[in-house]
Amino acid sequence: MTDLTGLSAFPITPASASGVVDVAALRGLVGRLAAAKVDSVGLLGSTGSYPYLTRDERRRALDAALDEAAGRVPVLVGVGALRTDAALDLARDAQAAGAAAGLLAPVSYTPLSDDEVFEHVRAVADGSGLPICFYDNPGTTHFAVSPALLGRLSRLPGVVAAKSPAAPAAEVAGRIAALRAAVPDGFRLGSSVDWHAAEALLAGSEAWYSVAAGLFPRPCLAILRAARRGDGAEARRLDAALAPLWALFRAHSSLRVVYAAADILGLCRAEPPRPILPLPAAVRADVAAVVERLGLG
């Protein structure tokens, strides 16, 4: 089983307006990440627009990514869905295809209770045999996991890790400590929210689940390596250098920005899935200027 630590890079999923995945473009994105030696590829996460794709297209994306990544980098794949039976089907697809683990968010329309989330995760982990990373993403699911609930989830067979939004610098160490106290030894705690990731890594987060790394793995790897060797000054310096990118992410959403950046860099011509619109021309120009100024091309 893959040890979910280090840098997990989350690429977009290039697709047509009708939701047909551009397999060649996706393979190109995954190949870049494998060549950069990220620790894992986070396929079909929120950046990968998983809720907007059918089960068949998600399987096509997974097969293409696994084929491109084979023997080079593990693939963690989003298996979230509104219904438990649909999430279970997706997890079984991922298990059969050879994914390293599944990323399971408590997707909902009607707000879910702790017990409903627990039973949802239990059913998917137990019924699929796929190692599960619980995906805490309250910005999209409108459900925030408590340390107590994560403690319950972490003791389910097959639930091996959690991806949680990193708190701001003043709060991050306390948040990680509270989560660590609730889960058993060996359960992996990782962080998202790129502009808080450096502090989260320095505070003990074992993984960085990164949108930026899906396009720009090398500067993200540099931050990770500095944090791992305990060089806080260097990790913060490298993080500060990316502040213009983080500002764009906060202002316009990381999803919209990386779609624009992928197009600007000529990596693919995909647009975000409707109803999400591409960035206006003026903002796109800002993205292009930041990419050039930071040398991210």
Q: Per the annotation, where are the binding residues?
A: 47
Q: According to DSSP H, which parts of the chain are helical?
A: 23-36, 55-69, 84-97, 114-128, 138-141, 147-154, 169-182, 197-202, 217-228, 232-241, 243-252, 254-264, 281-293
CA distances from 17 to 9, 136, 141, 186 (A): 24, 28, 24, 42
* Closest among 140, 178, 198 to 189, alpha carbons compared: 178
* Closest among 227, 137, 131 to 188, alpha carbons compared: 131
- The annotated binding site for pyruvate is made up of 47
Task: Give Rg (Cα) of the chain.
Answer: 18
Vertex 196, ends 195 and 200: CA angle to 5°?
145
**Sequence letter at residue 72:** R
Tell me the β-bridge partners of 133. Answer: 103, 161
| Rounded Cα distance, 167 and 151, in Å | 19
Tokens of 150: 């994560």
Q: How many helices (H) and strands (E) does the chain have?
A: 13, 8
| Choice among 50, 163, 209, 259 that is catalytic | 163
Instruction: Give catalytic status of residue 37 as yes or no.
Output: no
Q: Which residues are marked as active site?
A: 135, 163
